[in-house]
């Protein structure tokens, strides 16, 4: 990310000229802030080593298959101990790390989830600086490290960031992409300066960028196909990833958010190869032709036209970038027109996700923020990187800030994962906080009927309910920043469901009328 320092007078001036003069809508009752039993440790001791400021992520998965989501939190420096698995027992969280066999330590960064061996249990990939680990869920509350069976995924000489399981060849076996950030070693750390002359964290441009790695799933074992697929042809300081069908040809493509470099859009050639087409499809740069500090990324149908629009979080004084989907594989930057640029301009964003926070049928946007260089107004603080989080909602074609007291706590917020942890039909948020305690933002919004849908990853799900807008959701666990979210998709419902259309890749679309206030699981016949 491009490291910029802003002065307090400039911040105040920008705030006064870029924010609405009318009071923002109140969301005081929408979320409750809870501290989780986990403390992230960056290992920062004044040397400004790059991995200190970048981590870490979080994954939500029902590892013990008891019907509720558990939480896996990535630890930073090994001095903080291992990563942490928190078992969810009716809303109470207890440490299950040792019992589950996940006590290995590394400089943790991200996580990805999928049933990669198709045995019915959700498995786990952990990325980090200096090596990755692949864990098989054994179906009895424990995991087994199976990295040795797929040694190529370890990448011991890489700084890996986000990852995504996605079935690029549609053979029914989840394949895997692992992003790599920069060519970095502690022993070769460069000393960079802020404009004030103080030592600060470097931009990634001070180091060589690396290509991402693609692995084909050979019935539960992964083989490196990076070169054969063409992903080795373009390197970038990659941080955010999401798989989606950008050109609507039925095969998943890959969007990669690069930090201070042009973004990548890898179009699936349907023959095992990919072509990088971000520039021609409008996703490489912002509308002013500049590469921003791409970090977190999310997809959602913000304009309710049936296709997914792409949002990328960037550095303070760059603003988030919202790319509107033109419907034919082309995108345009609408950040300024929608107000998102101004609302996010004073923040550095990482974790991000679309969610219907108040269950009104319209998507809202959550941004987890935290600086990466000293904020001038926090000069003298031990950690001058603190920022608050944001919740934005659309009103009349533009976004506005929602006042949520639970989001006012300052922190160096990084990975964010989204899911219904208490099975009450709304989306909760878990945030990993750099050098801070992890936080659960429990959704407590007003009650309304709902439906939760469990379908294969990549499915398109459309719900119609009287009195509410058409709602379209896509099933995925990737996106955000270094994190993995609930694979179920949630819908607000009025008195009843008029229709629920489920389109699974490679299967004929089917329509259902599920009951309200329950989880609907697609029939096995629709599962590839």
Tens digits of pLDDT across the chain (528 residues)? 444 434 333 343 334 334 444 555 667 789 999 999 999 999 999 999 999 999 999 999 999 999 999 999 999 999 999 999 999 999 999 999 999 999 999 999 999 999 999 999 999 999 999 999 999 999 999 999 999 999 999 999 999 999 999 999 999 999 999 999 999 999 999 999 888 888 999 999 999 999 999 999 999 999 999 999 999 999 999 999 999 999 999 999 999 999 999 999 999 999 999 999 999 999 999 999 999 999 999 999 999 999 999 999 999 999 999 999 999 899 999 999 999 999 999 999 999 999 999 999 999 999 999 999 877 777 777 788 999 999 999 988 899 999 999 999 999 999 999 999 999 999 999 999 999 999 999 999 877 899 999 999 999 999 999 999 999 999 999 999 999 999 999 999 999 999 999 999 989 999 999 999 999 999 977 787
Please give the Cα distance from 312 to 263 (Å, whole number): 10
Please give the Cα distance from 204 to 372 (Å, whole number): 12
Q: Is the pTM of this model over 0.75?
A: yes
Q: E-assigned strands of 335-434?
A: 349-355, 364-369, 390-395, 398-401, 413-419, 428-433
* Integer CA distances (angstroms), 467 to 307, 496, 499, 513, 515, in order: 21, 10, 13, 16, 17
How many CB atoms within 10 Å of residue 327?
11
Those residues whose C-beta lies under 8 Å from the C-beta of residue 217, and which sit 6 or more positions away, are 116, 167, 171, 173, 174, 175, 176
Q: Which of 170, 175, 172 is nearest to 150 (CA)?
A: 175
The encoded tokens of residue 322 equal: 């919202």
β-partners of residue 298 are 311
DSSP H or E run through 106: none
Q: E-assigned strands of 154-234?
A: 160-166, 175-180, 192-193, 199-200, 213-217, 222-224
């Amino acid at each position: 990310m491009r490291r910029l320092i802003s002065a307090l007078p400039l911040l105040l001036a920008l705030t006064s000229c870029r924010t609405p003069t009318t009071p923002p809508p109140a969301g005081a009752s929408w979320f409750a802030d809870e501290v989780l039993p986990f403390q992230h440790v960056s290992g920062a001791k004044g040397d400004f080593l790059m991995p200190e400021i970048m981590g870490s992520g979080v994954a939500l998965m029902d590892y013990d298959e008891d019907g509720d989501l558990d939480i896996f939190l990535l630890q930073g420096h090994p001095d903080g101990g291992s990563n942490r698995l928190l078992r969810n027992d009716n809303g109470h969280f207890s440490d299950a790390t040792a019992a589950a066999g996940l006590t290995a330590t590394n400089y943790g960064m991200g996580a990805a989830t999928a049933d990669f061996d198709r045995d019915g249990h959700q498995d786990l990939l952990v990325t980090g600086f200096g090596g990755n680990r692949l864990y098989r869920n054994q179906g009895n509350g424990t995991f087994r490290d199976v990295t040795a069976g797929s040694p190529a995924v370890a990448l011991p000489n890489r700084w890996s960031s986000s990852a995504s399981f996605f079935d690029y060849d549609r053979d029914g076996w989840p394949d895997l992409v692992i992003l790599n950030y920069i060519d970095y070693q502690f022993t070769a750390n460069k000393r960079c300066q802020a404009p004030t002359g103080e030592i600060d964290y470097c931009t990634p441009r001070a180091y060589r960028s690396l290509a991402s790695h693609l692995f084909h799933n050979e019935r539960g074992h992964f083989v490196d196909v990076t070169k054969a697929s063409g992903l080795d042809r373009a390197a970038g300081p990659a941080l955010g990833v999401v798989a989606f069908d950008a050109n609507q040809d039925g095969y998943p493509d890959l969007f990669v958010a690069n930090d201070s470099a042009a973004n990548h859009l890898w179009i699936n050639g349907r023959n095992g190869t990919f072509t990088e087409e971000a520039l021609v499809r409008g996703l490489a740069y912002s509308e002013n032709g500049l590469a921003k500090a791409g970090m977190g990324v999310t997809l959602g149908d913000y304009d309710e036209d049936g296709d997914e629009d792409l949002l990328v979080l960037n550095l303070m004084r760059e603003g988030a970038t919202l790319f509107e989907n033109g419907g034919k594989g082309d995108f345009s930057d609408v950040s300024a027109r929608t107000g998102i640029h101004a609302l996010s301009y004073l923040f550095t964003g990482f974790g991000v996700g679309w969610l219907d926070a108040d269950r009104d049928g319209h998507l809202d946007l959550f941004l987890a923020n935290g600086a990466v260089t000293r904020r001038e107004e926090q000069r003298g603080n031990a950690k001058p990187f603190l920022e608050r989080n944001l919740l934005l909602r659309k009103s009349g074609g533009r976004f506005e800030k929602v006042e949520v007291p639970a989001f006012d706590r300052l922190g160096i917020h990084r990975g964010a994962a989204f899911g219904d942890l208490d099975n009450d039909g709304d989306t909760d948020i878990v945030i990993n906080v750099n050098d801070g305690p992890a936080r659960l933002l429990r959704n407590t919004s007003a009650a309304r009927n709902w439906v939760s849908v469990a379908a294969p990853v990549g499915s398109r799900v459309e719900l119609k309910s009287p009195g509410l807008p058409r709602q379209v959701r896509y099933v995925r666990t990737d996106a955000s920043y270094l994190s993995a979210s609930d694979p179920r998709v949630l819908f607000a419902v009025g008195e009843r469901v008029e229709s629920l259309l489920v389109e699974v890749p490679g299967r004929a679309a089917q329509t259902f009328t599920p009951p309200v206030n329950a989880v609907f699981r697609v029939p096995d016949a629709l599962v590839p």
